[in-house]
Chains A and B, each alone.
Chain A
Amino acid sequence: EDKVVQSPLSLVVHEGDTVTLNCSYEVTNFRSLLWYKQEKKAPTFLFMLTSSGIEKKSGRLSSILDKKELFSILNITATQTGDSAIYLCAGSGGSNYKLTFGKGTLLTVNP
């Protein structure tokens, strides 16, 4: 059975701090690793990673995948209160490219 494990499950930081969120995966016929941010409603897409060692960046967010260690991290620098959300990691695999989600990391950024 496919499995995605995220850590930590929750994190409280102050504005300006840098955070690293972790994601390990075991996905049959792995295709890609995706990160999402979820606030009140449906997840919003952050990154899709398919190749090892290539960092993807979007503003203060960046992510990288290690396909040998079956691991990915999401970094957020200079955190802001608006970054407070649940960050979900998902592995895509199988013939249908179905997503298996981790439990998420609840990030709280205090002013």
Chain B
Amino acid sequence: GAVVSQHPSWVICKSGTSVKIECRSLDFQATTMFWYRQFPKQSLMLMATSNEGSKATYEQGVEKDKFLINHASLTLSTLTVTSAHPEDSSFYICSAREWGTRNYGYTFGSGTRLTVV
């Protein structure tokens, strides 16, 4: 089945530094990639949607200069948390969608637990 590899699984960084999270679709072309964040005991909140080769569409309230999304190829999308602060600590998950063929349509990465100290 479709697989999305997300890494790192967890990362601890110092306040003020930047962190990059990668998601790769291993056996299909991810036409669209979605990035979510999830706080403890809460649901997944969509941050942005990116289509390969074009700028990401950010949800209301998500700072696009802080959460940089790049979807330069059909198999790779990255989320960079710039100048991270403790309030950015969260669980970040990507989800890829391949246009058309797959019955269930969305494949999730395994998530990245970010802790900013």
Closest A residue to B6 by CB, please name it. Answer: A42
Q: Cα distance A34–B95 when bound, in Å?
A: 14
Number of interface residues of B (CB under 8 A): 23
Number of interface residues of A (CB under 8 A): 20
Q: Cα distance A32–B103 when bound, in Å?
A: 11
Judge whether A98 is part of the interface by a CB distance below 8 angstroms. Answer: yes
Judge whether B51 is part of the interface by a CB distance below 8 angstroms. Answer: yes
Interface bits A16-45 vs B (CB < 8 Å: 1, else 0): 000000000000000010100000011111
Do A34 and B106 touch across chains, with their CB atoms under 8 A apart?
yes
Do B93 and A101 touch across chains, with their CB atoms under 8 A apart?
no
Interface bits A67-106 vs B (CB < 8 Å: 1, else 0): 0000000000000000000001010100011111111100
Q: How far is the CB of B86 from chain A (nearest CB, A)?
A: 22
Given contacts A42-B93, A43-B44, A88-B43, contact A99 B111 (CB under 8 A): no
In the complex, how many residue pairs between chain A and chain B have their CB atoms under 8 Å apart? 50
Contacting residue for A45 out of B6, B45, B106, CB 8 A: B106
The dominant DSSP class at the B interface is: strand
Given contacts A97-B32, A98-B34, A102-B43, contact A41 B105 (CB under 8 A): no
Judge whether B97 is part of the interface by a CB distance below 8 angstroms. Answer: yes
Contact partners of A41 in chain B: CB under 8 A: 110-111
Do A101 and B104 touch across chains, with their CB atoms under 8 A apart?
no
Contact partners of B110 in chain A: CB under 8 A: 41-42
User: Which B residues from 31 to 82 make CB contacts under 8 A with A?
Assistant: 32, 34, 36, 42-46, 49, 51, 57
Contacting residue for A88 out of B44, B51, B97, B111, CB 8 A: B44
Closest A residue to B95 by CB, please name it. Answer: A99
Judge whether A109 is part of the interface by a CB distance below 8 angstroms. Answer: no
